């Protein structure tokens, strides 16, 4: 690894990034996507004045297709044409084109798409050619003040290089995903840079550029990159299994504030006070208990629940990790074998039919794994609406995907089997309650 040192002279300050850029640029690509969007065009029949006299069902809807183009960047991480980019660059795209630095273009297919980490893995067919690629740095070894450069395609102007430093580590960036530990940099990052490389001074990937904080849409010197260790974990797990499989701790808790630290007899604030432990989890098998305080993972300090989630998620299923825990005033070490979220109970997806209000709804049992796929708490239980057929009875009564079925005629619904039985034996009268976006809703149906 290159020796880190502060420049000591004017000559050293004037040293060029050119050798590093020349080596790295061929491994950074431009990505262009095309997405077909169906739009309903307004017409005379949509005018409220017209509908007042002729009704609201006069004339068929008029639709047209629109092509939406977008651009971003990506990084070649394997000479056989494996490319890492952001999910938001390629998510939902009908066509993806990758342009190399030598201007050759290739159609790309998506191997892995993971919205929860905003990462996607692409593959292009290079017919046996070995492409230039970049290796990953250990992002846990990065420090605030380290020099970095960002390479990408901002605003579609072409491949561009900017430089800066690491401004902060473990930033949340205010995004709703599993990455609550971004690298913050003042290297200029703009729209189109997404998916490009943030590089260390030895030419390794420190992170994948993902987001900016901006009120104008341009760079204000606050950019965020997904740490390399998280990218490596998604890449390793995804290519090995063909899908995104992340380790799951199976425990949740709260941040240790100063008052809580005093109450627990800790020397300082920091760590996670465990409130719940799932019985089908790695944490439970390792012996973690409610009331324990997790202060480290593999010797690295844990200051908040977000950092705990990130540390576990950026590891690889099957690895062994060590939790530093305070229990009853004593420091203990727990060895934990990392495993994915449990699929117990099996989701048992089933499309309901028959004479009841949920006919046309597909129901499934919530397990930790299924709950996390739906962005629910992994501790969610019960039965969820997976799909609703268009034009079905369930749709007419307002059921939506991700609704959680709570009760039928006052009886709690614990499984798809129970839901079917309660609906089919209701005697023509149903009182149904569901949970939607944290709110409880209810409706009655009589035949």
Domain coordinates of the chain in residue numbers? 23-52+64-124, 133-241, 251-337, 350-446
Distance CA 411, CA 432 (A): 9
Burial of 242 (0-12, 13-18, 19+ CB in 10 A): exposed
83-87, 175-179, 385-389, range with the lowest pLDDT:
175-179
The position carrying tokens 């240790």 is 256
Quick check: 353 pLDDT over 50? Answer: yes
Q: Which of the following is catalytic: 46, 88, 380, 431?
A: 88
Q: Which residues contact 373 (CB under 8 A, 6 or more apart)?
A: none
DSSP state of 234: H
Q: For strand 82-85 and strand 119-124, is the pairing parallel, antiparallel, or unpaired?
A: antiparallel
Least confident interval from 35-39, 61-65, 105-109, 367-371: 61-65
Does the annotation count 88 as an active-site position?
yes
What's the half-sphere exposure (Cβ side, CA atoms, 13 Å) at 237? Answer: 26
Rg, the chain, Cα only: 26
Using one digit for the tens of pLDDT, what is the confidence trace for 259-282? 888 888 788 888 899 999 999 999
Which of these, 339, 301, 306, lies nearest to 140 by C-alpha position? 301
Predicted confidence (pLDDT) at residue 399 exceeds the cutoff of 90 = yes
User: pTM value?
Assistant: 0.76
Query: What is the pLDDT averaged over residues 208-220?
Result: 67
Higher pLDDT, 251 or 52: 251
- The answer to whether the 133-241 and 350-446 domains have the same CATH topology is no
Instruction: Flag whether pLDDT at 14 surpasses 90.
Output: no
Q: Can you tell me the distance from the alpha carbon of 150 to that of 173, in angstroms, rounded to the nearest whole number?
A: 18
At 397 the pLDDT is 92
Q: Which CATH number fits domain 133-241: 3.40.630.10, 2.70.70.10, 2.40.10.10, 2.40.160.20?
A: 2.40.10.10
Residue 71: pLDDT over 50: yes
Higher local confidence (pLDDT), 32 or 215: 32
Q: What is the pLDDT of residues 409-442, one digit of tens each?
A: 999 999 999 999 999 998 889 999 999 998 999 9
Assign domain 350-446 to a CATH class. mainly beta
pLDDT single digits (tens) 276-300: 999 999 999 999 999 999 999 998 8
Q: Is the pLDDT of residue 380 over 60?
A: yes
Which secondary-structure segment (H or E) carries 335? strand 330-337
Highest mean pLDDT, choosing among 23-37, 243-257, 281-295: 281-295
Nearest to 192 by CA among 214, 173, 209: 209
Q: From the candidates 118, 178, 186, 403, which is the catalytic residue?
A: 118
Q: Is 278 a catalytic residue?
A: no
Lowest mean pLDDT, pick from 61-65, 101-105, 129-133, 259-263: 61-65
Average pLDDT over residues 389-398: 93
Please give the Cα distance from 245 to 416 (Å, whole number): 25
The whole-number pLDDT of residue 50 equals 46
CA distance 88 to 33: 11
- pLDDT of 374 over the 50 cut: yes
Instruction: Report cis status (omega within 30 of 0) of the bond before 345.
Output: yes
Higher pLDDT, 309 or 78: 78
- Catalytic status, residue 181: no
Share of the chain above pLDDT 90, in %: 53
Q: Name 224's bridge partners.
A: 184, 211
CATH number for 23-52+64-124 (one of 3.40.50.300, 2.60.120.460, 3.60.20.10, 2.40.10.10): it is: 2.40.10.10
Average pLDDT taken over every residue of the chain: 85
> Among the options 194, 210, 315, 359, which is catalytic?
194
pLDDT digits (tens, 9 = 90+) for 102-128: 889 999 999 999 888 889 999 999 888
pLDDT score for 227:
93
The CATH label, of 2.60.40.10, 2.30.42.10, 3.40.50.720, 3.40.50.300, for the domain at 251-337 is: 2.30.42.10
């Amino acid at each position: 690894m290159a020796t880190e040192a502060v420049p000591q002279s004017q000559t050293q300050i004037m040293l060029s990034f050119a050798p590093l850029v020349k080596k790295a640029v061929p491994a950074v690509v431009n990505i262009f996507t095309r997405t077909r969007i169906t739009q309903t065009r307004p017409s005379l029949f949509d005018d409220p004045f017209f509908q007042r006299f002729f009704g609201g069902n006069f004339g068929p809807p008029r639709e047209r297709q629109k092509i939406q183009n977008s651009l971003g960047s990506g990084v070649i991480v394997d000479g056989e044409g494996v490319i890492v980019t952001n999910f938001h660059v390629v998510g939902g795209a009908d066509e993806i084109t990758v342009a190399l630095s030598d201007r050759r273009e290739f159609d790309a297919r998506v191997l892995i798409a993971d919205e929860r980490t905003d990462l996607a893995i692409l593959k292009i067919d290079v017919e046996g050619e070995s492409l230039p690629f970049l290796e990953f740095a250990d992002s846990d070894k990065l420090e605030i003040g380290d020099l970095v450069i960002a390479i990408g395609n901002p605003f579609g102007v072409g491949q561009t290089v900017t430089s800066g430093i690491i401004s902060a580590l473990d930033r949340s960036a205010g995004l709703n995903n599993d990455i609550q530990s971004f690298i913050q940099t003042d290297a200029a990052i703009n729209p189109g840079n997404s998916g490009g490389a943030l590089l260390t001074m030895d030419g390794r990937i420190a992170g994948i550029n993902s987001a900016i904080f901006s009120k104008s849409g341009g760079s204000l010197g606050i950019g965020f990159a997904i740490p390399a260790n998280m990218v490596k974990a998604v890449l390793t797990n995804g290519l090995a299994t063909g899908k995104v499989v992340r380790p799951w701790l199976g425990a949740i808790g709260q941040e240790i504030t100063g008052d809580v630290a005093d109450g627990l007899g800790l020397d300082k604030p920091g760590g996670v006070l465990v409130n719940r432990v799932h019985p089908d989890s790695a944490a439970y098998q390792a012996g973690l208990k409610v009331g324990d305080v997790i202060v480290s993972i593999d010797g690295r300090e844990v200051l908040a629940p977000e950092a705990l989630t990130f540390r576990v998620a950026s590891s690889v299923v099957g690895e062994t990790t060590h939790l530093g825990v305070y229990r009853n005033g004593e420091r203990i070490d727990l060895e934990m074998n990392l495993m994915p979220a449990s699929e117990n109970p099996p989701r048992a997806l089933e499309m309901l039919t028959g004479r009841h209000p949920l006919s046309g709804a597909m129901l499934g049992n919530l397990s930790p794994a299924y709950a996390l796929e739906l962005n629910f708490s992994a501790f969610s239980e019960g039965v969820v609406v997976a799909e609703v057929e268009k034009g079905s009875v369930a749709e007419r009564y307002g059921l939506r995907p991700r609704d959680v079925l709570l009760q039928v005629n006052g009886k709690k619904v614990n499984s798809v089997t129970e839901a079917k039985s309660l609906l089919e034996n209701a005697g023509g009268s149903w009182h149904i309650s569901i949970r939607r976006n944290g709110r409880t809703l209810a409706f009655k149906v009589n035949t």
